[in-house]
Structure formats: C-alpha cells, structure tokens
Amino acid sequence: MEIAVTDIKDTKIEGVTVLREETEPYRENYFEWAASPLIASFQSSQISGGILSCQTAEPQFQEFEYHKDKEFFYFVQGTALMPFANFDSEGKVNEASIQIVRIPEGTQLIIDAGKLHFVPVAEGPGEVKIVVVSPKMDSPRVPVRESVNGFLKS
C-alpha cells in the first residue's frame, strides 16, 4: 500500500495535538528554560521519560502500536517520517485512515490513548532524537494487511 508523505504543518491528525510554534525561553546568567505550553494529563502517576533514537530507513511499516494512556513526544533532532492510523469497527487498522507525516525538529506532540502510531524513521542522513514522556504501560501491536510504504510527492 502506497501512502504519500505529508508535512505536519499541512496535516490534521485525529487524536494528536501538535505544537510547532517557538516559545520565548526564560534566561538567566548561565541557563535558559524553554517550557512547553503543551500539557498532558495522564491517567497514571507512574511517569517515565527517555530518548528515542531513530535511524534513516525507507518509510515502510508492517504494524502499528497503541497505548492505554497518552504519550508526549518532543522531536529535538532531525526530521522524522511517522505513521498514524485509526482502528476500524472490528479492532483492525482502518487502512483509509493511514497517514505518514514528516515531522521536523522542534515539534511537540501529544498522542491520545488508543491512537495507532509507530516508531518513525529518520529522513535524510542524520538520526532523529525524540524525548518521549509517558506512564509505564504496554505497547500492544496491530499488524496491517499489507506493508505501508511512504512516498514523497513530487
């Protein structure tokens, strides 16, 4: 299945809150603090964070994952190609809803509970680094009927 890659600034993604605007950092002598205006209310108080590093690869995906709670993503390096989708009425991937979105560094996302997505690939020669914050939770996976292949529109 071929899916055109779209830019996040031009794409509405159901179940995903997007912040692309720059915020003015607070500065003192030896530091600056750029707070995120995106606020995620989690169901759990057991919150963890980490760095997700993604390498350059073809944007081909055979499965999606989802979670029982929200996830906060802050793209701090590189440009990512990330897939999203919705469930159909039978609990499978709704193929008509599949999107592959180009996400530049500096973008922040909150992915809602139950939203299908998967680990992005890096576009271009460098790797992508993402700060991910979420409650401790499982990551059930849902296969797609056929491989989802992203292509760049000309």
What tens digit of pLDDT does each residue of 28-56 get? 999 999 888 899 999 999 999 999 999 99
Q: What is the pLDDT of residues 135-147, one digit of tens each?
A: 999 999 999 999 9
pLDDT band at 154 (very low <50, low <70, confident <90, very high): low
Kindly report the pTM of this predicted structure. 0.93
Residue 6's pLDDT is what?
97
Domains and CATH numbers, the chain: 2-152 (2.60.120.480)
Asked whether 115 and 18 are in contact (CB, 8 A), the reply is no
